[in-house]
Amino acid sequence: MIEQIRSSTDIVDVVGEYVQLTKRGRNWFGLCPFHGESTPSFSVTSDKQIFHCFGCGAGGNVITFLMDIENITFQDALARLGSRAGIDVDVSVPSDSGPAPTKTDHQLILMHEFAADMYHHILMNTEEGQEALDYLENRGFTKEMIEKYRIGWALPEWNYMATALQRKGFSEEELVSSGLGIQREQKNGFFDRFRGRIMFPITNESGKVIAFSGRILVKSKEEAKYLNSPESPIFQKSQVLYNVHLARNAIRKNRKIVLFEGFMDVIAAGKAGVDNALATMGTSLTPQHIKAMKRFAQEIVLCFDGDDAGWEAAKRAAIALNEENFKVEVAVLPGKMDPDDFVREHGKEAFKEQIIGKPHAFIAFAMMHARRHKNFQYENDLLQYIQEVLQLLAGRSSPIERDLYIKQLSNETGLSEEAILQQYRKLENKTIERSRPSAPVQEKAPKRDPKRVTSLHRAERLLFSHALANPRTMEKLAAAEDGMPFVSEEFKALYVQLLGFYEEWEKADFHKFLETLRDPELRKLVMETALSERDPEHAEEEIADCLAHLQKHRIEQQIKLKIQQSKEAEKQHDLKRALVLAQEVIALKKSL
């Protein structure tokens, strides 16, 4: 099935949906989607159905491209390509190649999908859900929005969902692991985590439900307004961005993400036609969130609540994103409003055009933040404001930005531009000093010989290329010292992976082996070997030469080590050991 999907899909068409490609000769070229560049170094080869970036080294086939650019599993990539080619793929069945979700993960997703469908059905089609449906409609939710976000209603009964899931065949262990059911203290049954709440499904990037957030219908002192699923094998808040599966196309079209604090803000923005919206799940922005967003866009507009907490969160997020080279802007809400408040009070168009459409640049927002709660009639407040702004400018801004904001500071504070610029230069020099690596105190390490490094890598690459093309090569490699012919850790790891692959498949299959590798760095290395010049007609000679070169490298390393050990022995006046080591060095040199 995998081969059928692969052969039915043209990698040029798939990559072309993400990258603007231009044909040059037999290949297609474009700007690499995996790293920032201004000159196209990203190549797609139609004949071999592979891609390779000569800048960052990323490479693979159509399946691994989709896995990398969408950050999805092998199974999900297969399902998408299958759907595109008109081939049905049962993602519940483990594939016959490549990494797959665990059985536990799959079961938990099935449970959440079942629960989401049931909650949604109760809301839309039963008398029990009518009150919640009326509430949502009064809050401006249309039927289309409720369908789009799969909103539902959890009955107030104690164990309705737990019972339904067990009848569906899910185990008690799965019920607890999912977070949908909670075991009673006496361990004599389960009760539902979510009862009498409007249910908002949280999905992964493929649109599969992995968690819920439930909102109470009536205010209560005893219960929290929102109740979220606990973390589970399929749901980690620090990694999940809400709405990716629905916003992906709009983000690529706009080349921009609008990031909110919570999922309800995304839904409110959706009412106003802001479709490129994502949100964190009630946590601060994490490195995982930032890494995920880098795949979609390099421009981000932050829109957090207008209260003090929202301002502080926006500042932290803006600094983190700016340090990762995003173009950051901040849409500021008036007063203490959240997006839903603004939409209901001022309307959808005003939110989209006046708030999201007119964000503040990063430094401009930082200046607004620094001015908050300060009285410039007090010298301390004034100096603190100037210091905060200049610290952000130092090392972060272009000369044009620097001059613009220094002029603005001068106008705001009444101080001369010259005085502010002088203070800025002091801070900038300190920033440069801090970032400059300290001079090494110890003796310098010997310089690498670039030719030796290159020739070693070339030998390993060529040798692995032969092993990848012909399983019988592995017999020759196994005869190497310690059964490990390779020297570098990367090629050692690939060799072990290839041994396991041939035990299972016996035949050479470049694409299939590539798909078994989870580590993108190892996939890059495999792509390098695929692009290396291998001569099949003289394979025996090339393999022998590579093995000889690697063995020579090992011996040279042993000689260096023993010479060092001999010197240490002499320092310790262990002349007997020094003599033995010297004799071993002579013997090793003779073997070269």
pLDDT in tens, 121-166: 999 999 999 999 999 999 999 999 999 999 999 999 999 999 999 9
> Which of these, 480, 463, 461, lies nearest to 551 by C-alpha position?
480
Write the CATH number for 35: 3.90.580.10
Taking 70 as the threshold, does the pLDDT of residue 11 lie above it?
A: yes
- Give the strand order in the sheet containing 59-60: 22-24, 27-30, 42-45, 50-53, 59-60
Give percent of the chain with pLDDT exceeding 70. 92
φ and ψ at residue 208, rounded to 5 degrees: -85, 140
pLDDT at 94: 40
- C-alpha torsion 64→66→72→76, nearest 10: -90
Say if CB 528 and CB 498 are below 8 A apart: no
Burial 201-238 (b: 16+ CB within 10 A, else e): bbbbbbebbbbbbbbbeeeeeeeeebbbbeebebbebe
236 within domain boundaries: no
Name the residue with tokens 């799940």.
281
Encoded tokens for 363? 């430094």
575 assigned to some structural domain: no
Specify the pLDDT at position 10. Answer: 92
Residues 249, 320, single domain; the answer is: yes
Q: Name the nearest CA neighbour of 498 among 531, 475, 532.
A: 475
Asked if residue 26 and residue 73 are part of one domain, the reply reads yes
CA distance 122 to 152: 7
pLDDT higher than threshold 60 for residue 444: no
Q: Is residue 347 part of a domain?
A: yes
| Distance, CA of 135 to chain centre | 37
Supply the pLDDT for residue 69: 84
Q: In what order do the strands lie in the sheet with 299-303?
A: 241-242, 277-280, 257-260, 299-303, 327-330, 360-361
Residue range 533-550: mean pLDDT, rounded: 86
**Tokens (6 digits) for 48:** 């071999």
Domain boundary among 309, 330, 361: 361
pLDDT of residue 433: 58
H helix or E strand, kind and range, residue 418: helix 417-435
Q: Same domain for 341 and 406? A: no
Q: Is residue 446 part of a domain?
A: no
485 or 193: which carries more pLDDT confidence? 193
What range defines the domain where residue 185 resides? 103-228
CA dist 525 and 61 (Å) reads 13
251 and 331 fall within a common domain: yes
pLDDT, mean of residues 400-419: 90
Residues with Cβ within 8 Å of 218's Cβ and at least 6 positions away in sequence, in order, are none
Measure the CA–CA gap between 365 and 330, rounded to whole angstroms: 7
The values of phi and psi at residue 278, to 5°, are -130, 165
Among 71, 26, 25, 34, which Cα is nearest to 53's? 34
Phi then psi for residue 360, to 5 deg, are -95, 140
Residue with tokens 């999912």: 178
169-214 per-position pLDDT tens digit: 999 999 999 999 999 887 778 999 999 999 999 999 878 999 999 9
DSSP, residue by residue, 373-393: T--TTSHHHHHHHHHHHHHHH
Q: How far is CA 236 from the centre of its chain?
A: 13
**Domain co-membership, 301 together with 410:** no
The CATH number covering residue 481 comes to 1.10.860.10
Pairing between strand 241-242 and 257-260? unpaired
What's the pLDDT at 95? 40
333 in Cβ contact with 365 (< 8 Å):
no
Q: What is the CATH number of the domain that holds 341?
A: 3.40.1360.10
pLDDT at position 555 over 90 = no
* DSSP string computed for 129-171: GHHHHHHHHHTT--HHHHHHTT-EEE-SSSSHHHHHHHHTT--
For strands 42-45 and 27-30, give the pairing: antiparallel
- So what's the pLDDT on residue 124? 98
Residue 516 phi/psi, 5-degree rounding, is -80, -10
Residues 6+ apart with CB under 8 A from 150: 116, 120, 201, 209
The pairing of strands 299-303 and 257-260 is parallel
> Do 396 and 281 share a structural domain?
no
Confidence (pTM): 0.65
Q: Which of 202, 228, 254 is the last residue of a domain?
A: 228
Assess contact for 356 and 258: CB atoms under 8 A.
Answer: yes
- Looking at the structure, do residues 123 and 75 belong to the same domain, yes or no? no
pLDDT band at 440; cut points 50, 70, 90 = very low
Region for 485 from its dihedrals, namely left if φ exceeds 0, alpha if ψ lies in -120 to 50, beta otherwise:
alpha
* Together in a domain, 418 and 482: no
- The reply to whether 131 falls in a domain is yes
* Per-residue tokens: 487: 């020297």
Mean pLDDT to the nearest integer, 331-339: 95
Summarize pLDDT for 453-480 with one digit per residue, the tens. Answer: 468 888 888 899 999 888 888 888 887 7
Residues 113 and 78 in one domain: no
Residue 15 counted as domain residue: yes
Specify the residue for token string 């310790």.
572
The DSSP bridge pattern shows strands 360-361 and 241-242 to be: unpaired
Neighbour tally for 38: CB within 10 Å:
6
The model's confidence at residue 219, banded by pLDDT at 50, 70 and 90, is confident
CA distances from 293 to 27, 36, 79, 430 (A): 29, 14, 23, 32
pLDDT over threshold 50, residue 448: no
Task: Give the ranges where 207-338 is alpha helix by DSSP (H).
Answer: 244-254, 263-271, 287-294, 308-323
High-pLDDT (> 90) share of the chain, %: 44
Structural domains in the chain (count)? 5
pLDDT of residue 263: 96
Residue 98: is its pLDDT beyond 70?
Answer: no
CA distances from 222 to 129, 216, 218, 219, 225 (A): 22, 11, 11, 9, 10
Question: 283 falls in which pLDDT band (50, 70, 90)?
Answer: confident
d(C-alpha 525, C-alpha 486), whole Å: 14
Same domain, 291 and 329: yes
Pairing label, strands 327-330, 299-303: parallel
Backbone angles phi, psi at 215, to 5 degrees: -110, 135
Instruction: Give the SS3 label for residue 343.
Output: helix
Say if 408 falls within a structural domain.
yes
Which token pair is 436?
A: 């400059």
75 and 155 in a common domain: no
Looking at the fold, whether 114 and 37 belong to one and the same domain comes out as: no
Residue 2: inside a domain, yes or no? yes
